[in-house]
Amino acid sequence: MEKSVSDPAVFEGSTPVQANGRLYVKGTKLVNEKGDPVCLKGVSTHGIGRYPQYVDPDSFRTLRDQWHASLIRLAMYTEEFDGYCITGKQEELKALIDRGVQYATDLGMYVIIDWHILSDGHPAKNQKEAEAFFEEMSAKYKDHNNVIYEICNEPNSGPDWPAVKKYAEDIIPIIRKNDPEAVILVGTPTWSQDVDIAAEDPVRGYANIMYVLHFYAGTHKEALRDKARAALQKGLPLFVSEFGISDASGDGELDKAEGNNWIRFLKENDISFVCWNLSNKAESSALLNSASTVTGNFTDEDLSEQGMWYRNI
């Protein structure tokens, strides 16, 4: 396949961050510091509170060197799975984020700090905590050129786009005050699927904002790609910060054929993508099988079926 984009998986002696530097948004695309489109390929942790063992330098190194991943997403649930807003484990979770960012930085990988709302479907529900969290993170990481902020994983069960946009307009200036250029990912309603609706009325006045599209190939197919196409046509920059090829529950049958259709679509449009999830949980979207106990140097025997499929991608 002809390479039309700078592919961070091709190290040529340098790490993804050495090769690409700070990232910007130009039109609908993520670009590197030379202005060339980049398509980051990454892996998301499961909830870091529940599966902290994979926030590990060997695990990230294996993903970089053997899977050619250029990006790690640190998923920090806000409610379920020992979530940040309900368990009183804030310091522990922030220490995990700090370690994760440190390892990714040492390895020259990009890293997403993900405020993983899910059962708390409306981002406004824990907004005060979100404001304090992003104030602290952006002050701490303002000098990193590899940190990406994801401000609300998946708004669902209620908030429409104006409500999510309002939340984004409250959080973005908090990050921008400290970190004027970092890429910020804004979730979209209906579990980050309504990118076509966000495209009608995007956030104005800030550079380097992208909008989140999530899919699970067992459930979401051409109809969701049509929503993505509509958003792109209106000029909305998209980022797939989470996807799987299971059904939307994170479990059930894998649909590899549909997964391949999605990957082709994403590559054609230089859309970065991140696969859910780096854990050995007994569910088909876990990249490791449930018998695997290692936290790095994963061999074929450690990988689940989705893990094998994704590593080959």
Residues with a catalytic annotation lie at 154, 242
Does the protein bind ligand IDC through residue 44 (CB under 6 A)?
no
Maximum Cα–Cα distance for the chain, whole Å? Answer: 50
CB-based closest residue to ligand IDC: 250
Lay out the site mask for ligand IDC across 141-160 (x = CB under 6 A, - = otherwise): ------------xx------
* Beta strands at 24-26 and 238-244: parallel, antiparallel or unpaired: unpaired
**In the complex with ligand IDC, which residue's Cβ is closer, 132 or 282?**
282
On whether the CB atoms of residues 31 and 23 are closer than 8 A, the answer is yes
Give CA 226 to chain center in angstroms.
21
The string of DSSP letters for 25-53 reads EETTEEE-TTS-BB--EEEEEEETTT-GG
Q: Is 80 a binder of ligand IDC (CB under 6 A)?
A: yes
The vertex-49 CA angle with 280 and 180, nearest 5°, equals 115
Q: Does 59 bind ligand IDC (CB under 6 A)?
A: no
Does position 97 bind ligand IDC by CB under 6 A? no
Asked if residue 180 lies in contact with residue 24, where contact means CB atoms within 8 angstroms, the answer is: no
Q: Is 214 in the site for ligand IDC (CB under 6 A)?
A: yes
Q: Does 281 bind ligand IDC (CB under 6 A)?
A: yes
Judged by CB under 6 A, which of 84, 149, 167, 191 binds ligand IDC? Answer: 191
Our CB check for ligand IDC shows the closer of 72 and 107 to be 72
Is 118 a binder of ligand IDC (CB under 6 A)?
A: yes
CB 108, min distance to ligand IDC, A = 27
Minimum Å gap between C-beta 191 and ligand IDC is: 5
Three-class SS state of 24: strand
- Candidates 216, 239, 298, 310; binder of ligand IDC (CB under 6 A) is 216
Nearest to 246 by CA among 219, 206, 275, 207: 219
Task: Return the structure tokens found at 106.
Answer: 């040492």
Residues 241-260 interacting with ligand IDC (rule: CB under 6 A): 242, 248-250
User: Which of these, 144, 149, 129, lies nearest to 209 by C-alpha position?
Assistant: 149
Using alpha carbons only, what angle is made at residue 251 by residues 69 and 120, rounded to the nearest 5 degrees? 85
Q: Is 82 in the site for ligand IDC (CB under 6 A)?
A: no
> Contact positions toward ligand IDC, by CB under 6 A?
80-81, 118, 153-154, 191, 214, 216, 242, 248-250, 276-277, 281, 283, 285
